[in-house]
Amino acid sequence: MVKKKILVTGGAGYIGAHTVVELSQAGFEPVIVDNFSKSDDTLLKGIEKILGSKPVFMEGNCTDRTFLRSVFEKHQFACVMHFAAFKSVGESVQRPLYYYHNNIESLVTLLEVMKEFNVNDLIFSSSCTVYGEPDQIPVDESAPFKRAESPYGATKQMCERILEDAYSSGFRVISLRYFNPIGAHPSALLGELPIGTPNNLVPYVTQTAIGKREQLTVFGNDYTTPDGSCIRDFIHVVDLATAHMNAMQYLDKQKGDTFYNVFNLGTGVGVSVLELITKFEKATGVKLNYVIGPRRSGDVGKTYADPTKVNKELGWNAKYSVEEALLHAWQWEQKLAQ
């Protein structure tokens, strides 16, 4: 049987690479496009080790129409998964136009090229950042968009708006709003590879534990939460990856030429930063050096998903615990240090 080809933009990155593995293992043929602007070939090598064969890969930029056309000329895709985007909140504040150009232009160019080649199905990587500081917790998909705290957040809101406006011209689209992806592949051959000092919590935790960073700073313990630290919905990256297949299969079953829907991807369980540190110490047996510092500007105090819609409609549930995710992240960090 001919395998269905799936275009995975940003497939050399953290979430894209995990999704490539899940797709391949489920019998699809992912085709990776990446320009290595925020990555290198480390995760491509990891994919190859896990699968025992080199993934199909084309190097290039999704804002480059000529390049994208060459990808679509070479392959007939059943679906596109668009992970390629910049995601650093802090960097987006420093370089807003760089973010707007990359994140918006790549989506628009991709949609135009999909149209040219009659490829209609798209899974888009959105984020819980679209909600800003939500009025109600857990947050469901009907919550309104608040003013984005950063240009990065604004690009995710704008991309969703573009999709909402454009899908009726012949696209079938699902936007997945990720909460906080953490962890690594259980084989320890794939994981997060932050460039320079990590912005996100878990890579900072594992780098501190291994001695690459002196100590972790907990950003604030004066939030209105039980222990004062922020609360998030941490979701294992492999669970996140498998949800893309549920979304793709759901899209495939839809009748008609146009479709648009959004789903939260979270566990539905809120875990505080201090709880996460305790869970890390328990799961790994490593004591973490940390201090309490001031709040980080732009941080939301408390957010976690209401995943009812994704559970019911896509038939997807998170399977891994936060402890397992932290153990896998730690095993990946240790592997990197070898």
Q: Which residues are catalytic?
A: 152
Q: How far apart are CA 56 and CA 82, in angstroms?
A: 16
- Kindly state whether residue 219 participates in binding ligand UD1, applying the rule CB under 6 A: yes
Question: If binding is defined by CB under 6 A, does position 218 make contact with ligand UD1?
Answer: yes
Angstrom CA distances, 35 to 43, 111, 200, 216, stand at 13, 18, 22, 31
Q: Which of 102, 106, 150, 246 binds ligand UD1 (CB under 6 A)?
A: 150
- Residue 313 token pair: 């409609």
279 and 205 Cβ atoms separated by less than 8 Å: no
- The one among 70, 217, 311, 334 contacting ligand UD1 by CB under 6 A: 217
Residue identified by tokens 């040219």 is 116
Site mask, ligand UD1, residues 116-145, x = CB under 6 A? -----------x-x----------------
Tell which residue, 111, 119, 81, has the closest CA to residue 242. 81
Q: Which of 61, 180, 207, 242: binder of ligand UD1 (CB under 6 A)?
A: 180
Phi, psi of 125 (to 5 degrees): -80, 100
Here's the x/- map for ligand UD1, 76-115, by CB under 6 A: it reads as -----------x-x--------------------------
- Number of shown-chain residues binding ligand UD1 (CB under 6 A): 22
Min dist. Cβ of residue 219 to ligand UD1 (A): 4
Nearest one of 122, 98, 102 to 112, comparing CA atoms: 122
Which residue lies nearer to ligand UD1 by CB, 134 or 186?
Answer: 134
Among 139, 273, 314, 318, binds ligand UD1 (CB under 6 A): 273
Does residue 232 belong to the site contacting ligand UD1 (CB under 6 A)?
yes
In Å, how far are 26, 110, 273 from 11, measured between CA atoms? 16, 15, 29
Strands 271-272, 231-232: pairing is antiparallel
Contact by Cβ (8 Å): 218, 64: no
Interface residue with ligand UD1 among 300, 310, 314, 325 (CB under 6 A) is 300
By CB under 6 A, name the binding residues for ligand UD1. Answer: 87, 89, 127, 129, 149-150, 153, 180, 199-201, 204, 216-219, 230, 232, 273, 296, 299-300
